[in-house]
Amino acid sequence: MTDRKKLVLIDGSSYLYRAFYALPPLTSPKGQPTGAIYGFIRMLSKLMNELNPEYVAVVFDLPGKTFRHEEYKEYKATRKETPDELKLQISPLKEIIRLWGIKIIEIPGYEADDIIATLAQKGKREGFEVIIVTPDKDMMQLVSEGIYVLNPVSEELYDREKVKEKYGVYPEQFVDYLSMIGDTVDNIIGVKGVGPKTAEKLLNEFGSMENIIKNLDKLKPKLKEAFEEALDRLEQNRFLVKLKTDIDLNIETEDLRKEKADLVALKEKFKELGFKSLLKEIGKAGKIEEKGKQKSLF
């Protein structure tokens, strides 16, 4: 990590689900569900205080199909519908994030991962130190000099060597790794009998999936047969798991500079939602530690 300007890109959809399922149901004085909102704000507050980024964005998935569904109609077909209780909390949460002075980005037809990947590469080219905040292992394919992944659950920061230590393969091998092991959450079918350990062993031996396929005769008969059976879908798997880094976003990195929070409006919102502890904290806003780090929630 360096002293370069910091760009923090937050996987808002994963934060939202984690907040929703991690906390007991909370309701506002009017009976509106608020647990996911409160949990999200708490996690975001902690992150902002620790990283204190000058540039930051929260990126969300939008409902509806993406370009991957056009390629593979069963993509994410096994995923459950978003619970109504969570849907009701999305709009007020986004309002709070905007009042906080943080940009929200969401684009129809693209997943948050692809938007983050495009912004990360753009930030890197412009000399930023980019930190992607997500528990999603798919993002490990983006890790390189200047791009890191921070897992907000384990609080581990991944650089290239840390990815190798954790998964046994390097970030540049990660698309092949994911293509072979598959992903039950996204309904991507990998090679039968190939789990993380086997994929790691094969990639360390042959370097890439392409080289594995060129050397099928060197594999044990059962494994060779499994790869032969999966050949038709492996290239499609690569397409599904590889993140796009070239979306035409029409967004400049400078647009992601954090703005001053609207404390008056936030106070009203917290009052409406019954967030008493956050109301107390917002009263401390504006106090800055000697190091220049934000002391309070905002």
Residue that finishes a domain, picked among 241, 257, 290: 241
Q: Please report whether residue 267 resides in a domain.
A: yes
Q: Do both 21 and 72 map to the same domain?
A: yes
pLDDT at 72: 54
SS3 letters across 183-194: ECCCCECCCCCC
CATH of the domain at 107: 3.40.50.1010
Regarding whether 14 and 129 lie in a shared domain, the answer is yes
State the chain's maximal CA–CA distance in angstroms: 69
Statement to judge: residues 51 and 177 lie in one domain? no
Query: Are residues 203 and 179 in contact, defined by beta-carbon separation less than 8 angstroms?
Result: no
- Report the predicted TM-score, pTM, of the whole model to 2 decimal places: 0.90
| Per-residue tens of pLDDT for the chain, all 298 residues | 556 899 999 999 999 988 888 878 899 999 999 999 999 999 999 999 999 999 999 999 887 677 665 655 665 545 667 788 999 999 999 999 999 999 999 998 888 999 999 999 999 999 999 999 999 999 999 999 999 999 998 999 999 999 999 999 999 999 999 999 998 777 788 999 999 999 999 999 999 999 999 999 999 999 999 999 999 889 889 988 999 999 999 899 999 999 999 999 999 999 999 998 888 887 665 443 334 454 445 6
Residue 298 lies in a domain: no
CA dist 254 → 32, 57, 127, 191, 199 (Å): 36, 11, 12, 43, 40
Q: Give the integer Cα–Cα distance in Å for 180 and 183.
A: 9
Residue 173 lies in a domain: yes
- Domain membership of residue 289 (yes or no) is no
Whether 293 is covered by a domain: the verdict is: no
For residue 254, the surrounding DSSP H or E stretch is none
Q: Which amino acid is at 209?
A: M
Is 59 a domain residue? yes
Domain residue limits at 58: 6-163+244-282
- Distance, C-alpha 297 to centroid of its chain: 22
Q: How many domains, the chain?
A: 2
Q: Do strands 147-151 and 103-105 pair parallel, antiparallel, or not at all (unpaired)?
A: unpaired
CATH of residue 214: 1.10.150.20
The answer on 251 and 211 residing in a single domain is no
